[in-house]
């Protein structure tokens, strides 16, 4: 966790590039993805591929506010998902109410990198300076094991970017231990 926090995603990206340089990576290749969020807005997560065959996906969140719905506003088709998300938060969230999410298309790209010999990591940065990480494979396995991914959309056009979610509290705080050490367990 940084003491100052981040004013925006560019500042978080600069911090992250510096963190990678501190790890003595010689070459870092950046790829930006465009993901539909909602209301005609897009997010632009970045994937950093390093010369040691590590790949990091960096996402920046302006707010640590609860990303879940008020249960009274949840329609019948999303009620089961809402209950699963809230249950996993209560069990694995370590008191945090935030979920980290990754769109299916980006998640599949990261898993494909793993199939090609990379070790992929998910890094979540909040504007207040708190930072969490997990291995992508374990992020995916958590979401599929506990059903914390969205299977249906009211608008079929949006189905290309189904979100997979895990409780942020399940992830490892950035400075808790080395990112190359043991990954979080389920």
Taken in order 110, 36, 19, 165, the sign of the CA dihedral is negative
pLDDT of residue 66: 53
pLDDT of residue 118: 96
| pLDDT (tens place) for every residue of the chain, 186 residues total | 455 789 888 999 999 999 888 888 888 999 988 877 777 778 788 899 999 999 999 988 876 555 666 777 777 777 788 888 888 988 898 888 888 888 888 899 999 999 999 999 999 998 888 899 999 999 999 998 888 877 655 554 454 567 888 999 999 998 744 454 444 444
Host domain of residue 66: 9-173
pLDDT of residue 112: 95
pLDDT of residue 182: 44
Question: H/E/C letters for each residue in 82-116?
Answer: HHHHHHHHHHHCCCCCCEEEEEHHHHHHHHHHHHC
How many C-beta atoms lie closer than 10 Å to residue 122's C-beta? 26
Q: Is residue 182 part of a domain?
A: no
Q: Is residue 40 part of a domain?
A: yes
Instruction: Give the tokens for residue 89.
Output: 């938060």
Given a contact cutoff of 8 angstroms between Cβ atoms, the answer to whether 140 and 164 are in contact is yes
Q: Is residue 85 part of a domain?
A: yes
pLDDT of residue 117: 96
**156 DSSP assignment:** G
pLDDT of residue 183: 45
Q: Is residue 156 part of a domain?
A: yes
pTM of the model: 0.80
In terms of Cα–Cα distance, which of 133, 138, 86, 69 is closest to 107?
Answer: 138
Q: Is residue 31 part of a domain?
A: yes
Count of structural domains, the chain: 1
Helices in 57-179 by DSSP H: which ranges? 76-92, 104-115, 136-146
Q: Is residue 126 part of a domain?
A: yes
Taken in order 3, 90, 142, 183, the sign of the CA dihedral is positive
Q: Is residue 4 part of a domain?
A: no
Strands 54-61 and 131-135: unpaired
């Amino acid at each position: 966790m940084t003491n100052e926090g981040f004013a925006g995603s560019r500042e978080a990206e600069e911090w992250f590039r510096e963190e990678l340089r501190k790890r003595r990576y010689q070459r870092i290749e950046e790829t930006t993805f465009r993901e539909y969020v909602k209301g005609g807005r897009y997010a632009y997560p970045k994937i950093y591929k390093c010369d040691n065959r590590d790949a990091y996906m960096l996402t920046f969140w302006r707010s640590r506010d609860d990303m879940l719905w008020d249960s009274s506003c949840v329609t019948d088709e999303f009620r089961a998902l809402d209950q699963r998300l809230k249950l996993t938060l209560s069990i694995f969230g370590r008191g945090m109410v935030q979920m980290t999410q990754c769109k299916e298309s980006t998640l599949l790209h990261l898993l494909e990198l793993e199939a090609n010999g990379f070790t992929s990591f998910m890094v979540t940065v909040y504007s207040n300076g708190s930072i969490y990480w997990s291995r992508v494979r374990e992020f995916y396995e958590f979401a599929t094991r506990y059903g914390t991914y969205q299977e249906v959309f009211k608008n079929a056009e949006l189905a290309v970017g189904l979100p997979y979610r895990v409780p942020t509290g399940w992830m490892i705080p950035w400075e808790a231990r080395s990112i190359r050490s043991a990954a979080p367990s389920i």
